[in-house]
Amino acid sequence: MPLLASQGFTVRTVDLPSSGSLVGLDADVKVVRESLAEHATPTLVVGHSYGGVVISEACAGVRNVVGLAYLCAFVLDKGESLSMFLQPLPPWMEIDEAVGVGRVLAPEQVFYADVEPAIAARAVARLGFQSLACLGGVLTAAAWRELPSSYLLCEEDQALPVPAQEAMSARTNLVERLA
């Protein structure tokens, strides 16, 4: 984000409420839509991982969104849910159905394998559990169908396998590949 800001872009982030609570996709979509409404300037919305699901739903029909960028993210269509793509569960994920949450095992290796250790440690310290309600949230819209969209495929990502990224990225207008 500092690189974008240094080039004159205004960068805003939102914390998705499903991280660290038991709410689902609808709550995450609401937060993104509220942020977009507060800043009515032309906006490129970026979603990473599960964030791709959120932006696909949240940006549909929002006038100031000029495009979507999926960063190693899930690009779902109307009627699909994340649970359809996580069967079987990845080996790095632990589910506690009694509580309704999922946790990442060894996030240092899964999410931050190529990140400087001090930066990775700060990021891991911010991680919480993820609500399982997110997995079952079914999209009622797919903004990538109406907006220009791009996908940054990360070939060495430890969480989302390249074949899955390739399948989802085919739904976007432009695909770029990085290690």
Q: How much of the chain, in percent, has pLDDT values that exceed 70?
A: 99
What count of Cα atoms within 13 Å lies in the side-chain half-sphere of residue 32? 26
Domains of the chain with CATH codes: 2-178 (3.40.50.1820)
pLDDT > 80? residue 1: no
Q: Mean of the pLDDT values across residues 147-175? A: 96
Residues 6+ apart with CB under 8 A from 16: 27, 28, 31, 32, 50, 51, 54
pLDDT of residue 171: 97
* pLDDT level of residue 130 (50, 70, 90 thresholds): confident
- Strands across the sheet containing 149-154: 43-49, 65-73, 149-154, 174-178
Do residues 73 and 168 lie in contact, with contact meaning Cβ atoms separated by under 8 Å?
yes
pLDDT of residue 91: 87
Q: Mean of the pLDDT values across residues 123-144? A: 92
pLDDT of residue 129: 87
Q: What is the pLDDT of residues 99-117, one digit of tens each?
A: 888 888 999 999 999 999 9
Q: What is the pLDDT of residues 16-68, one digit of tens each?
A: 999 888 999 999 999 999 999 998 899 999 999 999 999 999 999 999 999 99
* pTM of the shown model: 0.92
